[in-house]
């Protein structure tokens, strides 16, 4: 029994499943989770001291890599000033200003502590601002574990094959409509039947919880048109894509293709906290001023805008705002995808991949899927062999078929070459 297994056995005695978030448990791929001892740059070392090239990066936040000097310095300085105050700080304003400046669709933001909290609050705000109850979400999209949104979700629930969660009353989700991603006809029918009752449509513009599936431009255009026509709010869940696929998030990519495009509300997390618990939701001033203490929609949080977390997030945003940052990051990510595709092709393994900025996904399928049901056609047993083959060779990808991956600025050409070489060996054995 190695040290990872010892720790897992110990954890299972006091933590459900031995983990504090389900996908970490390796239930989908089998085997023992790697307990991280430390991380630096593009790598982490597990409890046995083995080094791994990390393509999870805390599920997206570590866009600069682990332990970036400027971020570490900012956090250390903030810690000496105090951990938490329960009162406003100037750094909260600075972070909010940085977010608003980068994303034209946002005039105001409210800082919170997690993506789940931000998504839940955005839905409450959409309902409060419109006076309506119905919400549209899409199968395979995951917006955190708030009850109203935990219906046919992706991420860990997809991994374990559960379409919803126990403990969620039917009454709570009766106003949630679940549609097929990228299905324009179904979208139009939903608005035709329920348009006057729909408060908002929440969507991952690039879904990262059924691996990596992007919304077609025509589909996104129709989402915007129908929300505008029926007075519903288009809510972009950019917890994963915000500041990860580009400085302006995924919405900037759609704005470049759809004239005048903007979501009504945006949910952010991960990168804006730099690896610490921090998230946000925002939108136009008139909508955001519906929140307490100005308006009737209540939302609060003791640790919201935590001074150490805001220091970490602000330092991260300063680094990613530097000229050429995203161009370099995107080139690395594309190089990795091209290398993996070539390795799979040489071995005769079906393979398709897509990426944007520092976010990527690949499928053991000949063509990229467009929705959750197509994603489910991937052969999980083959993926599991790929996962463990890479893991044995010191390459750490998501321990689940339904999760996107992430490249950081710290990944080098040598890291990518080492990854592709490992994949070539594994593909040859599949």
Cα(110)–Cα(305) distance, rounded to whole angstroms? 9
pLDDT, one tens digit per residue, over 359-399 is: 999 999 999 999 999 998 888 899 999 999 999 999 999 99
pLDDT at 160: 39
pLDDT of residue 158: 44
Strands (E), 113-252: 134-138, 176-179, 198-203, 206-207, 213-214, 233-238
Evaluate whether 182 touches 370 at the Cβ level (below 8 Å). Answer: yes
- pTM higher than 0.85 for the full model? yes
pLDDT of residue 331: 98
Taking alpha carbons only, the member of 428, 220, 419 closest to residue 337 is 419
- Tokens 């047993």 correspond to 381
**Contact between 226 and 46 (Cβ < 8 Å):** no
Res 318: pLDDT: 98
**What is the per-residue pLDDT for 174?**
83
In terms of Cα–Cα distance, which of 146, 159, 154 is closest to 24?
A: 159
Q: Give the pLDDT of residue 164.
A: 63
**For residue 407, what pLDDT is reported?**
98
CA–CA gap between residue 65 and residue 45 (Å, rounded): 14
Domains and CATH numbers, the chain: 1-28 (no CATH), 83-320 (3.40.640.10)
Active site residues: 142, 237, 270
Contacts of 342 by beta carbon, 8 Å cutoff, 6+ apart: 420
CA atoms within 13 A on the CB side of 170: 0
pLDDT of residue 203: 98
Distance CA 350, CA 342 (A): 11
Low-confidence spans in the chain with pLDDT less than 50: 153-163
d(CA 333, CA 338): 9
350 three-state secondary structure = coil
Q: What is the pLDDT of residue 152?
A: 62
């Amino acid at each position: 029994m190695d040290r990872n297994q010892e720790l897992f056995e110990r954890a299972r005695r006091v933590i459900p499943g031995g983990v504090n978030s389900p996908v970490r448990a390796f239930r989908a791929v089998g085997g023992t989770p790697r307990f991280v001892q430390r991380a630096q740059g593009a790598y982490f070392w597990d409890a046995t001291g083995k080094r791994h090239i990390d393509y999870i990066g805390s599920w997206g936040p570590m866009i600069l890599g682990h332990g970036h000097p400027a971020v570490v310095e900012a956090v250390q300085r903030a810690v000496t000033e105090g951990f938490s105050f329960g009162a406003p700080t100037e750094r909260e304003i600075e972070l909010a200003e940085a977010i608003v400046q980068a994303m034209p669709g946002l005039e105001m933001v409210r800082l919170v502590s997690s993506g789940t909290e931000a998504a839940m609050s955005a839905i409450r705000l959409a309902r409060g601002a419109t006076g309506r109850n119905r919400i549209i979400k899409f199968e395979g999209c995951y917006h955190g574990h708030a009850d109203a949104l935990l219906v046919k979700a992706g991420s860990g629930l997809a991994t374990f094959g559960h379409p919803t969660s126990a403990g969620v009353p039917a009454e709570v989700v009766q106003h949630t409509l679940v549609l097929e991603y990228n299905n324009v006809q179904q979208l139009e029918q939903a608005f035709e039947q329920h348009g006057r009752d729909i408060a908002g449509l929440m969507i991952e513009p690039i879904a990262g919880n059924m691996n990596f599936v992007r919304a077609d431009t025509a589909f996104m255009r129709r989402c915007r048109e129908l929300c505008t026509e029926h007075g519903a709010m288009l809510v972009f869940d950019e917890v994963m894509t915000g500041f990860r696929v580009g400085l302006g998030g995924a919405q900037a990519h759609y704005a470049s293709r759809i004239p005048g495009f903007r979501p009504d509300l945006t949910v952010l997390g991960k990168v804006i906290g730099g690896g610490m618990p921090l998230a946000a939701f925002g939108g136009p001033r008139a909508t955001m001023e519906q929140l307490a203490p100005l308006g009737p929609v209540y939302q609060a949080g003791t640790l919201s805008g935590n001074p150490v977390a805001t220091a970490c997030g602000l330092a991260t945003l300063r680094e990613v705002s530097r000229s050429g940052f995203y161009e370099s990051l995107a080139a690395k990510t594309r190089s990795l995808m091209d290398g993996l595709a070539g390795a799979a092709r040489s071995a005769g393994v079906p393979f398709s991949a897509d990426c944007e900025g520092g976010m990527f996904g690949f499928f053991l399928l000949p063509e990229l899927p467009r929705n959750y049901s197509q994603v489910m056609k991937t052969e999980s047993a083959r993926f599991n062999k790929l996962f463990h083959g890479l893991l044995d060779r010191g390459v750490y990808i998501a321990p689940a078929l339904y999760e996107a991956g992430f490249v950081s600025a710290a990944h080098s050409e040598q890291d990518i070459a080492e990854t592709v070489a490992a994949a070539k060996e594994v593909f040859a054995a599949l």
